[in-house]
Amino acid sequence: MTTIGFIGSGRIGGALAQLAVAAGHDVVLSNSRGPDSLREAAARLGSRARAATTTEAAGAGDVVVVTIPIRAYRQVPVEALHGRVVIDTLNYDPARQGVVPEIEAGGIPPYLLLQAHLRDAYVVKAFSTVFFRHLPQLARPSGAPGRSAVPIAGDSATAKAAVAVLIDSLGFDAYDVGPLAESRRFAPGTPAQLAHLDPDGMFAAPGRPASAADLAALLEKADLS
């Protein structure tokens, strides 16, 4: 089993940690306020979970999930993540999460920001397309009817393979879209980013399963102009 470090243990981090513990993985939770603020959340998850600092979570994880508001990306520890596999769930939503000046200046697109900051980590974009409440609703065992695929993208084939194995254990098929830059095909505003949202109920409705074939069709529709 894998140890998963979490930098950010809010809605997405908490939902993924729950799936991870259920799958038999160990999780190390961290946030901006320090381990004391996470002891109760870790206790609720059981003996496979513990609270730590961000640097400890980064160092402990075979895979480390960075799932914080993107405006805080500079606080993600660089040295502790050197050579590690990192899942990047970050989306850029300036209205709700605050402006990132270097993105606004056009110097770098949001989906490349964390990899540029972490330099020597192997960043894989994943779980940026699933609303947190839908994660437990959509997770299914391997081969079960109605199992969903989630898009992933990254520049390291080895890291993507490790992340795909982890995603499989959490209840989803990983659909490899290509290098990290190709994650623009499932960035906010694209059809693939909305793959699991019921158009009638949106966030209030249960998550809608989307297979790899469904996802492929939606990824094709991305307007990249």
Ligand X SMILES: NC(=O)c1ccc[n+]([C@@H]2O[C@H](COP(=O)([O-])OP(=O)(O)OC[C@H]3O[C@@H](n4cnc5c(N)ncnc54)[C@H](OP(=O)(O)O)[C@@H]3O)[C@@H](O)[C@H]2O)c1
Site map (CB under 6 A) of ligand X, residues 39-58, x = contact: ---------------x----
By beta-carbon proximity to ligand X, the closer residue of 54 and 169 is: 54
- Which residues are bridge partners to 88 per DSSP? 66, 125
The yes or no reply on residue 10 touching ligand X (CB under 6 A) is: yes
Indicate which single residue of 5, 8, 35, 110 sits in contact with ligand X (rule: CB under 6 A): 8
The H or E element spanning position 19 is helix 11-22
CB under 6 A: which stretch of 44-52, 62-70, 140-148, 177-185 binds ligand X? 62-70
d(CA 192, CA 178): 14
Q: Could you tell me which of 80, 60, 91, 72 has the C-alpha nearest to residue 31?
A: 72
The H or E element spanning position 117 is helix 110-118
The yes or no reply on residue 222 touching ligand X (CB under 6 A) is: no
The yes or no reply on residue 173 touching ligand X (CB under 6 A) is: no
d(CA 59, CA 41): 20
C-alpha of 29 from chain center = 14
By beta-carbon proximity to ligand X, the closer residue of 96 and 224 is: 96
The yes or no reply on residue 151 touching ligand X (CB under 6 A) is: no
The yes or no reply on residue 193 touching ligand X (CB under 6 A) is: no
